[in-house]
Amino acid sequence: MKFSRFSLFIAVLFLGVSSAAAGTAIEIEANDTMTFNKTSFEVVTGQSVTIILKNVGSLPKAAMGHNLVVLVEGFTAAEFGMKAMSAVATEYIPAELADKIVAHTKLLGPGEQDEIVFTAPAPGTYEFLCSFPGHFALMKGVMTVKAE
Ligand SMILES: [Cu+2]
């Protein structure tokens, strides 16, 4: 009797641990009309977040490449997008803005996809964008991080 109660306790403990550590996956598509099919999503602070970005378009990467950059709280898609335009050599991820980025995918050509994994930061709202020149006007959104 004592032993089975203990087993139950262990099982509950495991369940608790696994649900706390359970991650979430968000799939977002980018297309030739310069849009993300998802412009907002919610996660829980401390949660492991996987973002899968798919470029479902067919235009060449040099004309219609897409990435997804999640910014730190308070830094806007417009600010990042303006500064990213000239960062051709680093695929529109300016080295000087490294501390403004929570996570980013690589730049994707047609039919490509990339996956990024990060831990959801403190509760708040975080803008994300595609930093390919000019795209941030349409390709942006908000990640909301909720408290546990
Ligand atoms: Cu784009």
Residue 67 lies in a domain: yes
Over residues 133-144, the mean pLDDT reads 97
What residues does the ion ligand 1 have nearby, CB within 5 Å? 66, 130, 132, 135, 139
Does the pLDDT of residue 3 top 70, yes or no?
A: no
Write the single-letter amino acid at 114.
D
Q: What residues make up the domain containing 139?
A: 23-146
Tokens of 123: 């509760």
What pLDDT does residue 21 have?
Answer: 53
CATH number at residue 88: 2.60.40.420
Q: How many CA atoms lie within 13 A of 4 on its CB side?
A: 1
What's the 127 CA to ligand 1 centre distance in angstroms?
Answer: 15
Residue 137 near residue 77, CB atoms below 8 Å: no
Write the single-letter amino acid at 83.
K
Residue 14 lies in a domain: no
Does the pLDDT of residue 110 top 90, yes or no?
A: yes
User: Please, is 33 exposed, middle or buried when counting C-beta atoms within 10 Å of its C-beta (0-12, 13-18, 19+)?
Assistant: exposed
Residue 1 lies in a domain: no
In this prediction the pTM is 0.86
Answer with the residue of higher pLDDT: 6 or 96: 96
* Residue 22's pLDDT band (cuts 50, 70, 90): confident
